[in-house]
Structure 1
Amino acid sequence: MTTDIRTGTGPGTAWLPSGPAAPGSPRLFCLPNAGAGAAVYAGWKRHATGGVQICPIQLPGRAERFAEPPYDRAGELVDALLDAIGDRFTGEYALFGHSMGAAVAFELARRLETDGRTPPAHVFVSGRAAPHIVEPNRALRDLPLDAFIAELRRIGGTPEEILGERELMERLQVLLRADFAVNETYRCPVDEPIAAPLTVLGGDRDARAPVASLHAWQPLTTGPFEVRVYPGGHFYLNDRLAELVGLMSRFTRPPKETPEV
């Protein structure tokens, strides 16, 4: 059986470069921020607890999928993802996404529920304003290249050796602009909440996702809701991986209820 690189069909799906999780293992599926690939979650595995397996999702347009055109709308991206690996979302699992990945993770959770598939045990969104409010920040996807690079530098997270290489940035901007389009165009009205528990994470100095915009996620779930704010900017999570991955591991595999005797 061959593998279709765009749909990810076949035994070695391009969407899950780490391979299938061990049968019966609880899984934390991770969606990357704009411009990043599955490798951004490589260091998470050593911090997972309770047998939870970290399952980074590789989106088109990056790493070994660099030749594939990236998606620029969350709905179309989730359509393709579900077509390719929808059967992997079974048993005990949770979803995590940071920034752009938060929009994709939430839309994925919403679609899994509306399609009648096994819902996630928990959804974690990080570094993103609630998707029913219009962000006051200027859209990055349409900026001229110099201004685009300046904004990326201000947000942080992109190495200076990449930002300083104009020829490289001219090539990477196709992916980056598409990713920012996914994030900036995604909307979900408050009358379409998910039922899964929702935890919103963010930094107290993140100009792209101010603390008030994190609390604004509350109407988007009918389940338990929590906001956790940490010191730092947009990439606050890089300073506390062990703490955050440990937290998510616990909620990915919720404790079983003890039956009444």
Structure 2
Amino acid sequence: MGNEIKLFCIPYSGGSAEVYRRWNKSLHSDIQLFPVELPGHGKRLFEPLQDDINTIVEDITATIASNLNSNDNYAIYGHSLGSLLTFETYFKLIENGVHKPQHIFFSGRKAPQNMHNKTSFHRLPDEQFLHAVMSYGGNTHEIVENQELLDLFLPILRADFKISETYCHQEKKDKIACDITVINGRNDHSAIMYDMSEWGYYAGGATAFHSVDGGHFFVTENYGPVVDIIKQTLRIADNILDRQIVN
């Protein structure tokens, strides 16, 4: 691979930047991992939680822009809520004059313009809300059994679910000006009921679709194939860039 590329990764509801750090040992040395921490999560736990998508998108945009030089190649990966945030962040970056990414990866979520089957889990009482959250899989049951963890995570999960569930899609004037890749878990019930090809609606370039084994949390439970897809995809994109430079 000829050029270095920065890979910004945006977590899912309740997730912190840490969920992506274990990818580091599997990624190509030319891919520099930048897990993005949201306010009130992980290392930013003591900052106020945000449940307004515009505020969070501004925050992510500032984080990405502050870690980029004008000639840096970069890509963005978002999972679940992170896919939605990635989508909105792309348009905010362009609006703010930041150069376009080389590639975007969306995983574990229906396309943003698909407003069918909206849920309002974030409005439920604690027990019912947690039951809904647990249906996605992952390690939620460990949190539920630990009162201290529960007190910490419940507000975070509620805020994140609120962002996703109250999202109101506004039609974009432009398409995404780079190729995109859509990745889903074969047993992810929150995503497989939807037509994933709808992500292609906003693609200004090519759209690639991949399925990997696993449920909704395949990005942590079966991340090997995901990292392979990223490495292969960014290498192809890089070769194209190299040829353009040579030509």
Could you tell me which amino acid in structure 2 is paired with residue 122 of structure 1? H
The CA distance in 2 between the partners of 1:114 and 1:84, in whole Å, is: 15
TM alignment of 1:118-197, pairs within 5 A: 118-166=99-147, 168-186=149-167, 187-189=169-171, 191-197=173-179
Aligned counterpart, 1:42: 21
The CA distance in 2 between the partners of 1:177 and 1:67, in whole Å, is: 17
SS in 1 for 2:104: strand
Aligned counterpart, 1:72: 51
The CA distance in 2 between the partners of 1:96 and 1:207, in whole Å, is: 21
Aligned counterpart, 2:181: 199
Residue number among 83, 86, 91 corresponding to 1:102 in the alignment: 83
TM-score, length-normalised on structure 1?
0.82
CA contact (8 A) 1:110 1:193 kept: no
SS in 1 for 2:61: helix
CA shift at 1:111, angstroms?
1.5
CA contact (8 A) 1:198 1:225 kept: yes
CA shift digits 1:210-233 (9 cap, x unpaired): 263321111111111112122332
TM alignment of 1:15-54, pairs within 5 A: 25-54=4-33
Could you tell me which amino acid in structure 2 is paired with residue 175 of structure 1? I
SS in 1 for 2:230: helix
SS in 2 for 1:169: helix
Q: RMSD value over aligned CA atoms?
A: 2.1
SS in 2 for 1:93: strand
CA shift at 1:161, angstroms?
2.2
Could you tell me which amino acid in structure 2 is paired with residue 227 of structure 1? F
Name the stretch that deviates more: 149-158 or 121-130: 149-158
The structure with more helix, counted as a fraction of residues: 2
The CA distance in 2 between the partners of 1:150 and 1:137, in whole Å, is: 17
The CA distance in 2 between the partners of 1:188 and 1:131, in whole Å, is: 9
Name the stretch that deviates more: 245-254 or 50-59: 245-254
The CA distance in 1 between the partners of 2:232 and 2:150, in whole Å, is: 39
CA contact (8 A) 1:37 1:59 kept: yes
TM alignment of 1:216-255, pairs within 5 A: 216-252=198-234, 254-255=238-239
Could you tell me which amino acid in structure 2 is paired with residue 257 of structure 1? R
Could you tell me which amino acid in structure 2 is paired with residue 220 of structure 1? Y
The CA distance in 1 between the partners of 2:166 and 2:137, in whole Å, is: 21
CA gap 1:166/1:143 in 2 versus in 1, 3 angstroms = farther
- Alignment length (residue pairs): 237
CA shift digits 1:229-248 (9 cap, x unpaired): 22332123334322211321
Taking only the aligned residue pairs, the percentage that are identical comes to 30
CA shift at 1:209, angstroms?
1.3
CA shift at 1:50, angstroms?
4.9
SS in 1 for 2:46: coil
